[in-house]
């Protein structure tokens, strides 16, 4: 553990990371690649908890825009994250990493209910804990879940893996060639500049809990390892 900067991390994986080139659904080939990347870091002795998103399945907001009741639409979104969590658990266990899935909405036949002390115990026993079903409440996001669970388990940092973007920019670098990359920021700067990183609930909670956030490109092999070893890739948000 000599060269490890972050010994207990909360990784936020968006649903898109599990869809691969499909946009929607789960692509087991990509999930396997994700699992192998995570295993490399787990092998270093880093304690890893993961919050999975569900955007590859369903977004509550989109359902509401088409006339659904928002809470009902959000519950569908939360169930989508559970499917992703089970796929990730399958792949992680296939590469030999012990895992537990904990859900914020009880479904005991397939996962444990979320119990903070039990989650911490799993981490201490070197199991990866995957948090599914978001916060269990509509109107929230899995980014907010990441900020909440990171604080609850006393994580050293939130690692936000982005698809194809290597940090936080002043504008979307995929569409705006003048977009500038930030090496460091504060949570308050994200809020005041209106930067598209996490939603504002997640940013303000991270500010209140003083939780560091590292945003980095997940599409480059070995990047999670670089981040936990303290290499300055991506954007670091502190304070
Ligand atoms: N969601 C929710 N409460 C939560 C977390 C998630 O209602 O605490 C729902 C919400 O409808 C959201 C969907 O689950 O659109 C998928 O989560 P998210 O959009 O955060 O996934 P990601 O963009 O990270 O893939």
Residue 2 maps to a domain: no
8 Å CB contact between 76 and 15: no
Q: Give pLDDT, residue 1.
A: 55
Rounded CA-CA distance 138/144 in Å is 11
Mean pLDDT, rounded, for 181-203: 95
Instruction: Tell me if 203 CB under 6 Å of ligand 1.
Output: no
Q: Give pLDDT, residue 57.
A: 97
Percent of all residues in the chain with a pLDDT value above 90, rounded to a whole number: 92
Residue 1 maps to a domain: no
CA 176, 61, 132, 6 torsion-angle sign:
positive
Q: Give pLDDT, residue 2.
A: 52
Per-residue CA distances from 89 to 18, 57, 165 (Å): 12, 17, 25
Tokens of 17: 């990371």
Please name which of 33, 63, 38 lies closest in space to residue 51, comparing C-alpha atoms: 38
Q: Which of 10, 26, 60 to mutate to test the pocket of ligand 1 (most atoms within 8 A of CB)?
A: 60
Element holding 169 (H helix, E strand): strand 168-169
Tell whether the model's pLDDT for residue 102 goes beyond 80: yes
Q: Give pLDDT, residue 196.
A: 87
DSSP code for 177:
T
Instruction: Tell me if 59 CB under 6 Å of ligand 1.
Output: yes
Q: Whole-model pTM above 0.80?
A: yes
DSSP code for 151:
H
Tokens of 8: 């207990």
Please check if 59 is assigned to a binding site: yes
Residue 120 sits in a domain whose CATH number is: 3.40.1160.10
Atom of ligand 1 nearest to the CA of 73: 11
Rounded CA-CA distance 202/148 in Å is 8
How many structural domains are present in the chain? Answer: 1
Residue 69 maps to a domain: yes
Domain ranges, residue 204:
8-237
ipTM over 0.95? The verdict is yes
- DSSP for 19-41, please give it: HGGGSSS--HHHHHHHHHHHHHH
pLDDT in tens, 9-41: 999 999 999 998 888 999 999 999 999 999 999
Q: Which residues pair with 47 in a beta bridge?
A: 8
Q: How confident is the model at residue 159 (pLDDT cuts 50, 70, 90)?
A: very high
Q: Would you put residue 194 in left (φ > 0), alpha (ψ -120 to 50) or beta?
A: left
Tell whether the model's pLDDT for residue 69 goes beyond 80: yes
Mean pLDDT, rounded, for 133-152: 98
DSSP-derived pairing of the beta strands 157-162 and 181-182:
unpaired
8 Å CB contact between 186 and 239: yes
Q: How confident is the model at residue 63 (pLDDT cuts 50, 70, 90)?
A: very high
Residue 3 maps to a domain: no
Which of 100-104, 172-176, 180-184 has the lowest average pLDDT? Answer: 172-176
Tell whether the model's pLDDT for residue 61 goes beyond 60: yes
Mean pLDDT, rounded, for 61-84: 98
Mean pLDDT, rounded, for 223-234: 94
Please check if 13 is assigned to a binding site: yes
Q: Which of 80, 141, 201 to mutate to test the pocket of ligand 1 (most atoms within 8 A of CB)?
A: 141
Q: How confident is the model at residue 224 (pLDDT cuts 50, 70, 90)?
A: very high
Tokens of 210: 């003083």
Instruction: Tell me if 52 CB under 6 Å of ligand 1.
Output: no
Q: Which of 74, 140, 162, 163 to mutate to test the pocket of ligand 1 (most atoms within 8 A of CB)?
A: 74
Residue 141 maps to a domain: yes
């Amino acid at each position: 553990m000599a060269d490890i900067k972050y010994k207990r991390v909360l990784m936020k994986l968006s649903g898109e990371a599990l869809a691969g080139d499909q946009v929607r659904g789960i692509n087991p080939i990509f999930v396997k690649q994700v699992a192998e990347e995570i295993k490399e870091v787990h092998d270093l002795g880093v304690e890893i908890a993961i919050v999975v998103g569900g955007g590859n399945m369903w977004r509550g907001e989109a359902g509401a825009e088409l006339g659904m009741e928002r809470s009902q639409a959000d519950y569908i979104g939360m169930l989508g994250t559970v499917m992703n969590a089970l796929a990730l658990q399958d792949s992680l266990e296939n590469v030999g990493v012990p895992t537990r899935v904990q859900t914020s909405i009880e479904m005991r036949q397939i996962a444990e209910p979320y119990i903070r002390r039990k989650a911490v115990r799993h981490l201490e026993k070197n199991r990866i804990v995957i948090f599914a079903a978001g916060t269990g409440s509509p109107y929230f996001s899995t980014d907010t879940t990441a900020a909440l669970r990171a604080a609850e388990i006393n994580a050293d940092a939130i690692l936000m893996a982005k698809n194809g973007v290597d940090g936080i920019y002043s504008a979307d670098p995929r569409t705006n060639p003048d977009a500038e990359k930030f090496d460091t920021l504060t949570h308050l700067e994200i809020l005041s500049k209106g930067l598209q990183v996490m939603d504002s609930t997640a940013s303000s909670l991270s500010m209140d809990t003083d939780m560091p956030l590292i945003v980095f490109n997940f599409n480059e092999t070995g990047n999670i390892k670089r981040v936990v070893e303290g290499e300055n890739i991506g954007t670091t948000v502190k304070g």
